[in-house]
Structure 1
Amino acid sequence: MKRRAFLFGGIGAAGALLVGWTVLPVRQRLTTSAPLQTEGTEVALNGWVKIDADNSVTIMMCRSEMGQGVHTGLAMILADELDADWSRVRVENAPPDKIFNNLQVVVDGLPFYPDDHGLVRRLADHVTRKLMREIGEIATGGSSGISDLWMPMREAGASARAMLVAAAAQRWRVAETECRTEGGKVMQGTARSVTFGELAAAAGRQSLPDKIRLKEPSAFRLIGRPLHRIDAEPKTDGSARFGIDALPPNLLYASVLMCPTVGGSVKHADVSAALAQRGVVKAFVVPPFDGGSGGVAVIADNVFRAMQALDALKVDWDPGPAAGMTSARLLARLTATLDRDDGHGYYTRGDVDEALRGAAKVVSAEYHAPYLAHGAVEPINCTVLYGGDAATVWVSTQVPGIARAHAAKVLGLRPEQVDLKVMMLGGGFGRRLEADFVSQAAAIAREVKGRPVQTVWTRAQDMTHDFYRPACVSRLRAGLDHDGRLVGWQARSAGQAVVPEMLARDFGFPRIPIDKTAAEGAFDQPYGWPAARISHANVDLPVPVGFWRSVGHSHQAFFTECFLDEAAVAAGKDPVAFRAGLLGEHPRHRAVLERVATLSGWGKPMARAPDGIARARGVALHQSYGSIVAQVAEVSVAPDKTIRVHRVFCVIDCGIAVNPNLIRQQAESGIIFGLSAALYQEITFADGVVQQKNFHDFPVVRMADCPAIETDIIASQEPPQGTGEVCAPPIAPAVANALYTLTGQRLRSLPLKLA
């Protein structure tokens, strides 16, 4: 009895501690566990900002810059609260520390409906933030860079500002309330002023303020302005350094011939002919890493010799589980899953079966989306110097902590023995959330201890050994009453789930059965369905899949918005009016929809294209990553059935527009990225081998075919939300809906091809 009392007492105490821990606030994100490293006269005022005697301000960056402008946006937030001189602001990569973990990206991944603000949701969000603060990752993804760091950056800037004001007040022996800040100076009225640089040393001796006062939006001086990007000049003059630009002394180069079948490996390799070639240092087998494929690596004194030597290799391959896999068989597996499996229900409202049985008209359709590669312009590369008891890794990565841990594991080191240098990314789109190429590069560099080795993939290896956007099939049904009102909505989809596979290959977790990203874009939209069930069935297939720009939204938006147009046509209603009628509880969404309709001249007759060909408009509305986007595409079809998109109107409500210039750039980028996938792109398999090798058979929209894009940003005082991915999902359905109006053909498969 005593042992039992002790046992249950211990469990009760542990439970009480756990409950107590969960109700405590998230630990601070202001100061690092170790002081920031400084040089010369620099002074660190907290974990995010350093000020030098020359009045320069250095802001620590814990998110990867891959063209989205996150370094500029985040620097603006802190600099505004600090009242820094923007011309004196620069950025520096942050050291590994828990305060830099991305909390928001995991919170956004919780499978809750956006309108759910109940206790369970609030508790789940709170506990997740606490956990991710302690065991999370420094990650760039999910369009979360600004939304995650909006408050930490503001608090860091305001805290540093308070310390500078306190130092000035002490110097002048006046009350702090008599001082103000502006343009990198502390002022007392118009009588005197002192620069931040002159105050830095004294400010560094101040205690961190217990309470800070954040600016009101009306006081913002930088936030909301279309400032030029911090990285614009170095990218223009060539001084910017991407992963492939890492050139440490005595550098060797490696190229890898990987198993043609995805996920395959090497049975036997004869490397003698390769070793005999000029400049070749080593040639050897490398195993598959982290969900990738195995192959044979060649190290040489320059990259061209390393690549040329691959042709001399004689390899007997083990194709692995993907042997015999074709696109047709993969599609059959997905459709067969829908025949027997309703999947996990992500959203249910009312009795949809009863609503459909009682409907005056029921519309049904099946939609398909293919596998897609990322196709970043900078090919996969990583440079590693292994010294036996330490290593340096230069890499373009979205997850430096994961990259560091995987390199350390391969090299038999502890993570703290690996100095990981995050370079600029020549495109990421989710591909550089993976660690396969980092582990591979570490294993290659291990063979020549003491000399750095840069492993560079060819474009063909990059395209054929990606972690692809999953293929997906969706079956939808909509019920309408006699007046054309929607009474029931059912959406069932099947495809691979990214998060379970990522957790398994990166952390060794067992595969979880639920993945919100598989059904996002289907279950989390604002429409007021009277009765609905939206579900997704996970399918295990031997294709490596990963996060692709906008993830599930990239195809689920196509399914949802195209089928909504089908329902509007069946109801005999205008597509914009039909959508507006379902947005009664969402005035922000309705305002975005109505704004794009006004800008595009929706409902007015369309003039023909300059060559006399008829044009039509199509509309789509979609919410993702906290932002609301509506688009109207103006489309024509040439006599040879070539689809031409002439103009795209895009309206976005993303909360406070930190930098409208960056938002417009990302809107244009997302539309072009999504349009490339909508019109041209698919990854196909024959006997487990990817058929697309380069941009000639995986095209992107070229300048001559790029539509004119007009972006309108809705003014808002809501906290800023994502912009990097949110404009990609609506473009495919907007174009497809325009094509139906123009041709009468309802295209339900991507890429869009007219019969």
Structure 2
Amino acid sequence: MRHHEKRATLTPIGTARRRFMQQAGAIAGGGLLLGFTFVARGAQTGAPLASATPFVPNAFIRIAADDTVTLIMPSVEMGQGAYTSMSMLLAEELDIDLSHVTTEHAPADQRHYGNPIYIEQLTGGSTTTMGWFMPLRQAGASARYMLVAAAARRSNVDPAALRTHDGMVTHDATGRSARYGTLVDEAATVKPPAAPTLKDEASFRYIGKPVRRIDTPDKVNGKTEYGIDVMLPGMTFATLKSSPVFGGKVAHVNDSKALKVPGVRQVVVLDDLVAVVGEHMWAAKQGLEALTIHWTDGPHANLSQDDLWAALESGAKAPGVPAKKTGDALAHLNGDSVYEATYELPFLAHAAMEPMNCTVDVRADACDVWVGTQAMGKARDAAAAASGLKAEQVTIHNHMIGGGFGRRLEMDGISKAVRIGKHVSGPVKVVYTREEDIQQENYRPMYHMHARAKVQNGKILALHHRITGPALLARWLPEFFIKNVDLDAVEGAVDLPYGVPNLLVEYVRQETPIPTSFWRGVGPNANVFAIESLVDKIAHATNTDPLALRRRMLQDDPRALGVMELAAQKAGWTHPLPPAPAGARVGRGIAVLSAFGSYLACVAEVSVSDEGNVSVTRTVTATDVGLIVNPDTLEAQVQGGTIFGITAVLYGQVTVEQGRVQQSNFHDYRVLRLDEVPKIETWFIHNREKPGGIGEPGTVVVQPAIVNAVYAATGVQLTRMPINPKLLKKRETT
């Protein structure tokens, strides 16, 4: 640990993953994928021209004749700053100016662009920096070595006498220089080094420095093309309606009125959905509203939210599969000083600002797909399956994503678009309405967590934590569904930062008829909420300061202790809160996270009205993600994650009645509004540890911090999100 740094205050206008790393370690560190292309540059004084034959020593880079470097991005940009941070890694080791780097989406190519952690071509789980930090640096350093070797051969000098800077190799003794683009012929004959020498931290020009996002200018001026922006010659537009009951089917469609709507071209009726194709989106939408559709609801027509909660709670009574066992927790969970609680999380929608969309052109012998997806390989395979073509006959054209949060890891939108496109001549853009997007989701799962703890000598002596929920990895990445344990579902529970000598973590797989998927924060959302809430329950019951209780149990984890102490210090934990507004109560809460290869602590301050309405007034988050690539990205991700997490605590829930999702748009699936955003402070700890993830931890850690702050303000601990104001309404005293 070196020092801490304040990055920003945002004021409103008005590990299971470590186990992933261990399992993938041999693959992540066992070889170097290379892929550069160097193209000849214009004539330069005293330097021979390179041929036009591209130099292709590896898989990530092209260097053009004008010395522009193109990075073939192994990760997808969906607002998290991946394009900038990955370009920084490359520019750092290749010794080029960052302004010379341009980016391209990688094609669907598992062999070259598979995430080293997941062994799958995907972007998710806060793994972009963790997975690509070393491979991209090694790729840049290897290319630089080859270019230097080429210059040394040409000039007949020792490579050690040469240096690189800004895309140029220079021999200081003679003053001679050569641009990278002029060295491609010689570089093509150089054998890549087995272990290229990387820069040390003292030599970093970019890594660790705040860098403006390279994708921002084009987003501001409208040049950036998201999936929904795709326009092709002769393209039509379609929108769709799926069975409102999951698993239901189309019974009968009367399309006579729809076909009379100006601009409507055709109606496509499939077994589980109906789509209207028009000359433009408005025609398609108006045509869809003019349809009369009769559905066969299927087996889930009477499914209610109460049924879903009851099934989850019943499943939680079954014996769990041990995910981690240390000591003998059950033997100690008796007598006095045993505390227990049950915590639950509801379904959540992703509600990305860019609605689901996919443009397809399905032909007899080929299929082109224009989409923003987090998983290129799976997108290609899904399109192939839906079209009946071979994978090699499918081309995926990936795009910037206007919000993913896990939703665009799923392939249902691509499959439906291709199925519709098979009935349409020429390219068709399929766009979901916001209602279809929210009501036909793959939702964040419902989770049930039951925890029991034995306290002795001011610490937790034994802890039994049982997690009940679906196994997302069993479907998505079966390699990480090990011995009937979903590694994602137990993350944040099996890797506790607290020193608990007797620990038993169990997992109960409980599937649901409602489709589920990964949601920003994934498994740790549930487990950090449960554990951090239980710690505060113990603190309140034993009249102990919540910070002091955590401090006792973090002595063996200095990184976790460090972020907690920093957050508490900067939040003024020992200082009184500002006076409560009239008719309100105020509270301050804290939570600690160890997940995604990172450590975070958050202090939240809240105001609770006498009617039970909660306002988050301030958050202070301390982060330790190891070696920081771009502090600006780190700051933005903590801020965005905080807002995402506050939304979940205050408003987030999807409910089901008669087999139908009740929420439909932002009026009843609320997100945090500008005038509700609190003061957000972020603080960083700098060190030389391996980089961890940051896309999701901010979302996770703020939620229990808020719940604990509400507990401090009202004496009521919330055990099921979102906050229910009725439980917090101030009671009259007599």
Is the TM value for this pair above 0.5? yes
* Contact 1:102-1:148 within 8 A present in 2 as well: no
* Contact 1:618-1:633 within 8 A present in 2 as well: yes
1:203 to partner: Cα distance: 2.7
1:585 to partner: Cα distance: 1.9
1:27 to partner: Cα distance: 5.8
Pairs within 5 Å for 1:203-218:
203-218=187-202
Equivalent of 1:477, from 452, 461, 474? 452
Distance across 2 between alignment mates of 1:484 and 1:26: 42
Name the CA shift for 1:29/1:485 in 2 (closer, same or farther; >3 Å): closer
Question: Structure 1 residue 144 and structure 2 residue 127: aligned?
Answer: yes
Q: How many residues align?
A: 690
Aligned to 1:369: 345
Distance across 1 between alignment mates of 2:628 and 2:226: 28
Equivalent of 1:522, from 471, 493, 496? 493
Where 1:728 maps in the other structure, the secondary structure is helix
Cα offsets for 1:633-683 (capped at 9, x unmatched): 011123433211111111111111000000000000111001100111100
Aligned to 2:332: 355
Alignment gaps of 5+ in structure 2: 1-24, 42-51, 728-734
Pairs within 5 Å for 1:249-328:
249-287=233-271, 294-328=272-306
* Contact 1:105-1:141 within 8 A present in 2 as well: no
Where 1:480 maps in the other structure, the secondary structure is strand
What one-letter code is carried by the residue in structure 1 that aligns with 2:159? E
Pairs within 5 Å for 1:533-612:
533-608=504-579
Distance across 2 between alignment mates of 1:102 and 1:597: 40
1:357 to partner: Cα distance: 1.5
* Contact 1:280-1:306 within 8 A present in 2 as well: yes
1:201 to partner: Cα distance: 4.5
Instruction: Name the stretch that deviates more: 261-270 or 36-45.
Output: 36-45
Where 1:199 maps in the other structure, the secondary structure is helix
What one-letter code is carried by the residue in structure 2 that aligns with 1:677? A
1:612 to partner: Cα distance: 8.9
* Contact 1:44-1:51 within 8 A present in 2 as well: no
Name the CA shift for 1:721/1:417 in 2 (closer, same or farther; >3 Å): same
Name the CA shift for 1:278/1:36 in 2 (closer, same or farther; >3 Å): farther
* Contact 1:49-1:60 within 8 A present in 2 as well: yes
Question: Structure 1 residue 379 and structure 2 residue 355: aligned?
Answer: yes
Aligned to 1:677: 648
Cα offsets for 1:275-302 (capped at 9, x unmatched): 3332222212224xxxxxx210111111
Question: Structure 1 residue 93 and structure 2 residue 71: aligned?
Answer: no
Where 2:316 maps in the other structure, the secondary structure is helix
Name the CA shift for 1:185/1:326 in 2 (closer, same or farther; >3 Å): same
Equivalent of 2:382, from 376, 401, 406? 406
1:523 to partner: Cα distance: 2.5
Where 1:664 maps in the other structure, the secondary structure is helix
* Contact 2:323-2:506 within 8 A present in 1 as well: yes
Where 2:315 maps in the other structure, the secondary structure is helix
Aligned to 1:497: 471
Aligned to 1:82: 94
Equivalent of 1:31, from 34, 42, 66? 34
> Higher relative contact order at CA 8 Å, sep ≥6: structure 1 or structure 2?
2
* Runs of 4+ deviating beyond 6 Å: 22-26, 35-40, 509-512
Aligned to 1:69: 81
Pairs within 5 Å for 1:37-52:
43-52=55-64
1:485 to partner: Cα distance: 3.0
TM-score normalised to structure 2 length: 0.90
Name the CA shift for 1:73/1:575 in 2 (closer, same or farther; >3 Å): same
Name the CA shift for 1:512/1:523 in 2 (closer, same or farther; >3 Å): closer
Equivalent of 1:59, from 63, 71, 91? 71
Distance across 2 between alignment mates of 1:519 and 1:422: 32
Pairs within 5 Å for 1:157-172:
157-172=140-155
Question: Structure 1 residue 647 and structure 2 residue 618: aligned?
Answer: yes
Instruction: Name the stretch that deviates more: 643-652 or 163-172.
Output: 163-172
Name the CA shift for 1:693/1:159 in 2 (closer, same or farther; >3 Å): same
Aligned to 1:8: none
Where 1:499 maps in the other structure, the secondary structure is helix
Where 1:631 maps in the other structure, the secondary structure is strand
Where 2:698 maps in the other structure, the secondary structure is coil
Name the CA shift for 1:23/1:635 in 2 (closer, same or farther; >3 Å): closer
Distance across 1 between alignment mates of 2:172 and 2:581: 62
* Contact 1:607-1:614 within 8 A present in 2 as well: no
What one-letter code is carried by the residue in structure 2 that aligns with 1:350? G
Distance across 2 between alignment mates of 1:613 and 1:270: 55
Instruction: Name the stretch that deviates more: 605-614 or 296-305.
Output: 605-614
Question: Structure 1 residue 392 and structure 2 residue 368: aligned?
Answer: yes
What one-letter code is carried by the residue in structure 2 that aligns with 1:712? W
Distance across 1 between alignment mates of 2:383 and 2:184: 38
Question: Structure 1 residue 615 and structure 2 residue 568: aligned?
Answer: no
1:514 to partner: Cα distance: 2.2
Aligned to 2:14: none
* Contact 2:38-2:63 within 8 A present in 1 as well: no
Distance across 1 between alignment mates of 2:481 and 2:254: 37
Distance across 2 between alignment mates of 1:38 and 1:53: 5
Name the CA shift for 1:703/1:298 in 2 (closer, same or farther; >3 Å): same
Distance across 2 between alignment mates of 1:616 and 1:666: 25
* Contact 1:38-1:44 within 8 A present in 2 as well: no
Distance across 2 between alignment mates of 1:736 and 1:490: 21
CA RMSD of aligned residues (A): 2.3
Equivalent of 2:432, from 451, 457, 470? 457
Distance across 2 between alignment mates of 1:39 and 1:285: 54
Where 1:651 maps in the other structure, the secondary structure is strand
1:577 to partner: Cα distance: 1.4
What one-letter code is carried by the residue in structure 2 that aligns with 1:261? V
Where 1:729 maps in the other structure, the secondary structure is helix
Instruction: Name the stretch that deviates more: 515-524 or 647-656.
Output: 515-524
Name the CA shift for 1:262/1:442 in 2 (closer, same or farther; >3 Å): same
Alignment gaps of 5+ in structure 1: 1-21, 107-131, 288-293
Name the CA shift for 1:688/1:102 in 2 (closer, same or farther; >3 Å): same
Name the CA shift for 1:503/1:353 in 2 (closer, same or farther; >3 Å): closer
1:631 to partner: Cα distance: 0.3
Name the CA shift for 1:618/1:211 in 2 (closer, same or farther; >3 Å): closer
1:36 to partner: Cα distance: 6.3
Question: Structure 1 residue 630 and structure 2 residue 633: aligned?
Answer: no
Name the CA shift for 1:432/1:584 in 2 (closer, same or farther; >3 Å): same
Aligned to 1:725: 696
Question: Structure 1 residue 692 and structure 2 residue 663: aligned?
Answer: yes
* Contact 1:362-1:478 within 8 A present in 2 as well: yes
Aligned to 2:683: 712
* Contact 1:31-1:99 within 8 A present in 2 as well: no
* Contact 2:368-2:397 within 8 A present in 1 as well: yes
1:80 to partner: Cα distance: 0.2
1:206 to partner: Cα distance: 3.2
1:465 to partner: Cα distance: 0.6
Where 1:403 maps in the other structure, the secondary structure is helix
* Contact 2:366-2:389 within 8 A present in 1 as well: yes
Question: Structure 1 residue 487 and structure 2 residue 461: aligned?
Answer: yes
Aligned to 2:9: none
Instruction: Name the stretch that deviates more: 94-103 or 84-93.
Output: 94-103
Distance across 2 between alignment mates of 1:457 and 1:681: 21
Cα offsets for 1:105-124 (capped at 9, x unmatched): 43xxxxxxxxxxxxxxxxxx
Amino-acid identity (%): 39
Question: Structure 1 residue 220 and structure 2 residue 232: aligned?
Answer: no
* Contact 2:39-2:181 within 8 A present in 1 as well: no
What one-letter code is carried by the residue in structure 2 that aligns with 1:92? E
Where 2:238 maps in the other structure, the secondary structure is strand
Where 1:519 maps in the other structure, the secondary structure is coil
Name the CA shift for 1:522/1:749 in 2 (closer, same or farther; >3 Å): same
